[in-house]
Amino acid sequence: MSWSDFMSDTVARIGRLQKETPDTMAGFNMMGKSAKTNGALSEKTKELIALGIAISTRCDSCIAFHVKSLVRLKTTREEFCEALAMIAYMGGGPSVAFSAKALEAFDEFTGGAPGKSV
């Protein structure tokens, strides 16, 4: 599976939903912007929390969006893997499997080279 192709398809589907439900999507986008604002916690920390929830709820689309955000925020592979270890610990076997998917997405979005930091 290509995470980049998956993201393109997901963004297109969400775009179609946004045309049908503009007020709902505007509210959702406003909530996301507010939640991600740097405060006592950095945006990167908040995105790592969101990734944990995405993995725990087994949401591939959420994993892709939050991995892309973590790449944009210059998360290193070491930081990313350390977060995956905690997520796997808290979520057990299913979180291990979805953590592996998230790592695959991270590697693709950073150029596909394991060990490469952003």
Average pLDDT, rounded, for the chain: 93
Mean pLDDT of 93-110: 95
- Torsion from C-alpha of 98, 74, 108, 29, nearest 10 degrees: 70
Mean pLDDT of 9-27: 97
pLDDT band at 118 (very low <50, low <70, confident <90, very high): very low
Mean pLDDT of 53-70: 96
What is the per-residue pLDDT for 112? 75
Q: What domains appear along the chain, each with residue ranges and CATH number?
A: 3-110 (1.20.1290.10)
How far is Cα of residue 66 from the mean position of the Cα atoms in its chain?
A: 2
What is the per-residue pLDDT for 114? 61
What is the per-residue pLDDT for 113? 61
Cα 73 to Cα 54: distance, rounded to the nearest angstrom: 18
